[in-house]
Amino acid sequence: MADSSSAVGGSLFARSNPSLGQISVVGLACASLACLGALTFVVLERDAALESRNVYKEQLEDLIMQGNFSVGQEAIINNIIEHHGSHWCMPHMAHDDPWNFKSSLYFTVVLISTVGYGDLAPETFAGKIAAVLVSLIGIPLLLSFTVPLARRLIGAITGVAQRAYVARSVTRAMEAVELMAGGTGDGGKIKVDYRRRVPSIEGIGLSQDDLRQVELVSMLLLLSLILATIAGLTPLLMVVEGWTAEDALGFVWYTLTTIGLGDKTMDLTHPTFAVCIIVMVLLLGTAAAQALMNGMQRAAEVVEKRVGADTWALDDVLTGLRKRSTGVGGMLGGEDEESDETWGLLSPNCGMDASPEKRPNRTAR
């Protein structure tokens, strides 16, 4: 019974490697959830937002009419109102129709991606409850889609580097075979670099140094891809949104890292374009996070091995000290029990496995 439970536990917590078909199914589920969430927010939030906007607009018109402002003053007030509407946190202040299907789809994607710009937010009680439920299901569902897909992206990039190093290993192996077959003409002595990978039954592999270099090259390739994406999206957003270079660069970076400050958000007149950018940048960000975590885990393994080697070296020193102390005790005629106790404390297991056959033989004296 215990074995079956451990097997089940291992299957639940084992690192899964889903197929491309499974990833596609999860992606389709994410898209369906996003569309369902968008329809939900259209039903729950659109009418309330439009009504609030109309009330706000009527109040502003009454204020201007009752204020008896001059033409110049009215122009200044209109500029203030326009600026207020562009920077107001409530969605009905900044957009004519914020909760249509495309805008709602944009909000749902921002919600389940945990970017959370804050340019759109539900105002009704039902809409807020719906946002909680959609995020509760959508966040793990989207992670189940982006994480395996990002892992495949890393695998593809690593495969490019591995093929390059294997090709280099094949070339070196062929050179080594040619050298061994033809000789060098130097007194019949053949000089061969045996560090080159020579073909075997298992094929041509990669040394540990090659594997480290493959990981480094893969990381550099992924970093180059991310930098190329940032360099391509920044001028595109400058043209489409009319932003400055620093604003466009900050938006891409905050989206890539899911920080989502919300100081600059995309115009909801083209929400489909915004959704595509968010999904693409989020995928690259997930791949970068996966690569960094793998690199940190590998660094931790290296540190652990070195610390373990140092620990074993310390154990060797303690064992040497124990042997010396045993020899001195023998010359001085020390008690057997005390020497045995000292031996046990200086052993790596602190005497826990100090069986009589493993202890020094004192009866011979």
In tens digits, the chain (365 residues) has pLDDT values of 444 444 443 433 345 678 888 888 999 999 999 999 999 999 998 888 888 778 877 877 777 777 777 777 777 777 777 666 554 545 555 567 778 898 899 999 999 999 988 888 888 899 999 999 999 999 999 999 998 988 888 888 888 887 877 777 677 667 666 666 655 445 444 444 444 444 444 444 566 666 777 788 888 888 899 999 999 999 999 999 889 999 999 999 999 988 888 888 887 778 888 899 999 999 889 888 888 887 787 777 777 777 766 666 666 767 777 776 665 555 445 444 444 444 443 344 444 444 445 444 544 44
Tens of pLDDT along 143-185? 999 989 888 888 888 888 878 777 776 776 676 666 666 554 4
Q: In the prediction, which pLDDT does 310 show? A: 63
Q: What is the rounded CA–CA span in Å between residue 316 and residue 120?
A: 65
Q: In the prediction, which pLDDT does 251 show? A: 93
Q: In the prediction, which pLDDT does 83 show? A: 62
Q: What are the boundaries of each domain within the chain?
A: 19-307
Cα dihedral sign, 132-138-139-141? positive
C-alpha Rg value of the chain to the nearest Å = 34
For the domain made up of 19-307, the CATH class stated in words is mainly alpha
Please check whether residue 259 is in contact with residue 231, taking contact to mean a CB–CB distance below 8 angstroms. no
Mean pLDDT of the chain: 74
Listed residue (355, 332, 348) closest to 340, CA to CA: 355
CA angle 46, 52, 58 (to 5 degrees): 135
Q: In the prediction, which pLDDT does 205 show? A: 54
